[in-house]
Amino acid sequence: MTNQVVTYEPRDGVAIITINRPEKLNALNDDVIAGLKDAMYRFKDGDEAAAILTGAGERAFSAGADVNGPPRNPPTWTAVPGIGFDLDKPVIAAVSGYCIGAAIVLVQFADLAVASENAIFHYPETQLGISGGMIASMAARIPHKVAMELLIAGTKFPAQRAYEVGMINKVVPNGQHIEGAMEYATTLRDSAPLVMGMLKRFIRDDILPKGPVERAGLALRETQRIDKSDDKIEGLGTFKEKRRPDFKGK
What are the tens digits of pLDDT across the range 158-195? 999 999 999 999 999 999 999 999 999 999 999 999 99
Tell me the per-residue pLDDT of 55-83, one tens digit each, with 9 for 90 and over: 999 899 999 999 899 999 999 999 999 99
User: How much of the chain exceeds pLDDT 70, in percent?
Assistant: 99
Percentages helix, strand, coil for the chain (3-state, rounded to 5) are: 45, 20, 35
- Return the pLDDT at 192: 97
Q: Are 43 and 89 in contact (CB under 8 A)?
A: yes
Task: Indicate the CATH number of 6-191 among 3.20.20.20, 3.40.190.10, 3.90.226.10, 3.40.47.10.
Answer: 3.90.226.10
pLDDT at residue 84 tops 90: yes
* Structural domain boundaries in the chain: 6-191
Can you give the pTM of this predicted structure? 0.91
DSSP SS3 for 117: coil
Selected residue with higher pLDDT from 6 and 3? 6
Distance CA 44, CA 7 (A): 15
Length of the chain counted residue by residue? 250
Distance CA 110, CA 27 (A): 18
pLDDT tier for residue 1 given thresholds of 50, 70 and 90: very low
**What are the φ/ψ torsions at residue 120 (nearest 5 degrees)?**
-130, 125
